Amino acid sequence: MFPVAETRRADRLDALRGAAIVWMVGYHLAFDLNHLGWLATPQDFYRDPLWTTQRTAIVSLFLLCAGAGQALATAAGQGWPRFWRRWAQVAACALAVSAGSALMFPRSWISFGVLHGMAAMLLLVRLAGTRWPGRTGWMWPVGALAVALPAWVAHPLFDTRLGNWVGLVTRKPVTEDWVPVLPWLGVMLWGVAATQALRTRRPQWLHGAVPAWTRPLGWLGRRPLTVYMVHQPLMIGALLAAGAWRH
């Protein structure tokens, strides 16, 4: 079992999540500017390694933080009612993203993006933690298997919108965001396992003091879902207003 329940926030984790948010907002700002044709040199966000690598890194950082957060929540004694409330918020926001993207990108709308994937993976991780409380050593090899499996196994059955959430596709779907369970569940499992290892061996790495300049990052890191949902509408609205004013 986990040790005595912890109630302290992990300020360093909040700051790390906040840094991921800043990176994400910067990435999306560049995407929006490119989409509106405002960049001097048009960018290919779907194939250029400059952008695809950044996307992979950003999603990985968010899922590592999500796994870490789930490990800490379990250690703090989070019950199922509180878990379901937070899970419902993530799921509802995922549906809102699907609806909004369908209006803006009807041919490439988001059916299983980062929030959809996070909702599915958080549930799987929670169930695993309930089944094997405090035992996370198995998550390292299972996580590695989850990350590697899509490179080994693929089938046309998973190429539809009803099946591509699994991740074992033969071709990447046409969509603005896609974060399937495989391989990304592996990253979240690693976040859980790494955090549990730190809690046991280096707790000060999680709960140590943070420099004053990171406090704004911590503030952002405590509100990831809110920032995720509002930043794109605000930026797009501001850019469109600026475009109208310029003309």
Per-domain residue ranges of the chain: 11-240
What's at 231, amino acid-wise? H
Q: Residue 244 above 90 pLDDT? A: no
Contact 189, 143 (CB under 8 A): yes
Helix axes 114-131, 49-75, angle to 10 degrees: 30
* Residue 3: predicted pLDDT: 41
Q: Residue 44 above 50 pLDDT? A: yes
Its pTM stands at 0.92
Model confidence pLDDT, tens digit, residues 113-172: 999 999 999 999 999 887 777 788 999 999 999 999 999 999 999 999 999 999 999 999
**Would you tell me how many other CB atoms lie within 10 Å of the CB of residue 37?**
8
Q: Helix, strand or coil for residue 129?
A: helix
Q: Residue 26 above 50 pLDDT? A: yes
Please list the residues that pair with 116 across neighbouring strands: none
Percent of the chain with pLDDT over 90: 82
Min mean pLDDT across 28-42, 98-112, 119-133 is at: 119-133
**Would you tell me how many other CB atoms lie within 10 Å of the CB of residue 16?**
20
132 Cα distance to chain centroid: 24
* Residue 132: predicted pLDDT: 76
Please list the residues that pair with 178 across neighbouring strands: 112
